[in-house]
Amino acid sequence: MNAHVLPPRARQAAQAMLLALVAGLLLSGCQQIEEVSAATYQPAKVTEVANLDVKQVQFTAIGADQVDLQTEAARRDGRYTVVPHTALIYDGQGVPWVYTATAPLTFLRAKVVVDRVVGERALLSSGLPAGTEVVTVGATQVYGAELGIGDSH
């Protein structure tokens, strides 16, 4: 008998062990990649803005889709700039803000003065020029991203 040839049962056992080892390594590698990807994926990047007390928030396309981010242009109505009331965010001191689009999927919080809310419209007496794109759906998620709420890092 040749020293390098295994009997059929021993060869099958060795192949089964090798297959199990390779499968185990592949599966553990995939799990490790998934864990790293899930741990490092951030739906938004937050950066400091020189001379401002607010931070810029830039969402990934996937992150924006996940929170269904939507924007709409503020419009003029007499002496007021009008935005949907869903665009309003109030900070811990009760100050109203909106998120303005500064570039695609990039937002900056702007302080506004609300004269009143009528139905689903907020009438702003200052703080925002007509034509400015504001976040109308997902503003709370943008605010949370800016403040690092839910950020595990």
Count up the domains in the chain and report the number. 2
Q: pLDDT tens digit string along 49-65?
A: 888 889 999 999 999 99
Q: 29 with 51, same domain?
A: no
The CATH number that applies at residue 54 is: 2.40.420.20
* Verdict on whether the full-model pTM lies above 0.95: no
CA angle 126, 117, 76 (to 5 degrees): 45
Q: 21 with 85, same domain?
A: no
Point out which residues pair with 75 in neighbouring strands: 82
Which tokens hold the place of 34? 């998934």
The domain in which residue 1 lies consists of 1-41
Q: pLDDT tens digit string along 87-131?
A: 999 999 999 999 999 999 999 999 999 999 999 999 999 989 999
Closest by alpha carbon to 102, among 150, 54, 151, 148? Answer: 54
Whole-angstrom Cα distance, residue 79 to residue 115?
A: 11
Whole-angstrom Cα distance, residue 143 to residue 56?
A: 10
Q: 70 with 26, same domain?
A: no
Residues 6+ apart with CB under 8 A from 48: 55, 56
